Amino acid sequence: MRKIASLILVVAFVVAGCGSSVATAANAAATPGAITTSTPPPASQAAAQSGGNVTTGCSTGTYKGFKTNTYCGPAKGTVTIAGTAYQVSGGLCIYDVAVGFAANIGTSVTGSTDVTADGPQYLFVASFPGAGASAAGVIHGVPFSILDGDGANTVTIAPDHKSGSASGIAGPNDDPVTVAFTC
């Protein structure tokens, strides 16, 4: 339970740090299920959010009426579910020796698990002192969660905090899932 509470805390921290803006008029006319975005924060704000490794601004928007956060920067990942590999890009990594490590890649949807195969792709990897490591997300409409040490699940963060991997059994069908990411 402590792992999950820590994961939720960091997700809330990172999501709140992505910036927020008022949706544009064009977004209000979007079709249901479409991802709409708003104006990204200034480059200086986006750079501060990821230790200066940002190449484009973050943005917020909506998907099926739920808030989204699209992350920015050079982080990318590959998630393989039941033998099919999916690419996720545009992300940031944050590391603090006292707090831990978090990587957000792609677009997260807050408050909904109803993400279809053509919806947002999201990968979150985290490691906290005393709480362990985890990888979670929604890839091609399949939600997954891998907690290090939970059965056959493993999550590894490189000592330089610039890459890592995860593997286990996850998703609604208990499919084999592997994750590889770089910051």
The model's pLDDT over 68-127, given as tens digits with 9 standing for 90+, comes to: 999 999 999 999 999 999 999 999 999 999 999 999 999 999 887 677 888 899 999 999
Bridge pairing between strands 154-157 and 163-170: antiparallel
Judge contact between 73 and 91, C-beta under 8 A.
Answer: yes
User: Which one has a higher pLDDT value, 30 or 128?
Assistant: 128
Q: Which residues, other chains included, contact 59 with Cβ-Cβ below 8 Å and sequence gap of 6+? A: 19, 21, 37, 38, 39, 40, 69, 70, 72
Confidence grade of residue 8 (pLDDT, cut at 50, 70, 90): very low
Note if the pTM is more than 0.85.
no
Rounded Cα distance between 35 and 33, Å, is 7
CB-count exposure of residue 156 (10 Å: 0-12, 13-18, 19+): middle
Beta bridge partner(s), residue 170:
175
Judge contact between 137 and 79, C-beta under 8 A.
Answer: yes
